[in-house]
Chain A
Amino acid sequence: MSDIIRRDPRAEWIARNRLHPLHAAMQSQNQTSWMGPNGIIRKNPHAIAAGFIGPAGLKRIDRSGAQQGTAGKRSSASVEVQLSLHVVEQPAFHICVVPDMVGGRLSSHDKDLLGLARKLAGESGAVLAVLFGEDKENAFDTAGVDRLLRIAGDAFDGYAPEARVLALSAVESQLAPRYWLLPDSRTGGGELGRRLAAKLGERPATRVWQVAGEQAIGRAGSGQQDIQRALPRLILAAAECAEPVSETRHEARTLELGERIAHSLSRIEDLGPVAVDPAQIPMAEAEFILSGGNGVKDWKLFHQAAIALGATEGASRVAVDDGFMPRNRQVGATGTWVTARVYLAVGISGAIQHLQGIGACDKVVAINMDPGCDMIKRADLSVIGDSAAILNALIERVAAWRQEGKRDAA
Chain B
Amino acid sequence: MKSGFTTSFPGLHPGYGDTMTDLNIVALVSVGAHPTSGRPRRAEQDARAVELGLRLAGQNLQLLHAGDPQAEALRGYLGMGLEQLDVLEQPEGADALPLLVDYLQGSRTQLVLTGSQAETGEGSGMLPFLLAERLGWPMVVGLAEVEKVENGVAQVLQALPRGQRRRLKVRLPCVASVDNAAPVARQSAFGPARRGQIEAHEVTVVGDSLLAEASLQPAKPRPKRLKVIKAKTGAERMKAATARASGGGGQVLKDVSPQEGAEAIFKLLIEEGVLR
Contacts and interface: CB of A to CB of B under 8 A. Distances in A.
Interface of A: 2, 4, 159, 161-162, 186-187, 190-191, 194-195, 197-199, 203-204, 206, 209, 217, 219-230, 240, 243, 246-247, 267-277, 279-282, 285-288, 307, 309-311, 341-342, 344, 362-363, 365, 367, 371, 376-377, 379-386, 389-390, 392-394, 396-398, 401
A77 B170 CA distance: 62
B223 to A, nearest CB: 9
B26 to A, nearest CB: 19
Contacts of B174: 267
A247 B228 CA distance: 12
Given A277-B1, A310-B275, A394-B262, A225 B163 contact: no
B122 A227 contact: yes
B253 A221 contact: no
Given A204-B126, A342-B272, A367 B261 contact: yes
A398 B139 CA distance: 40
Interface string B161-176: 1111111111100100
Contacts of B155: 271
B151 interface: no
B191 interface: no
A270 B158 CA distance: 10
Q: Which of B7, B125, B140 has the most CB of A within 10 A?
A: B125
Contacts of B218: 224-226
A367 B166 CA distance: 34
A274 B268 contact: no
B168 A342 contact: no
Contacts of B121: 220-221
Nearest to B134: A198
Given A280-B7, A398-B266, A401-B270, 18 more contacts: A159-B166, A197-B129, A206-B125, A209-B222, A221-B122, A224-B219, A243-B228, A267-B174, A270-B168, A271-B169, A274-B164, A274-B165, A309-B275, A381-B253, A382-B251, A382-B253, A390-B261, A390-B262
A307 B276 CA distance: 12
Q: Which of B119, B130, B210, B266 has the most CB of A within 10 A?
A: B266
A224 B162 contact: no
B106 interface: no
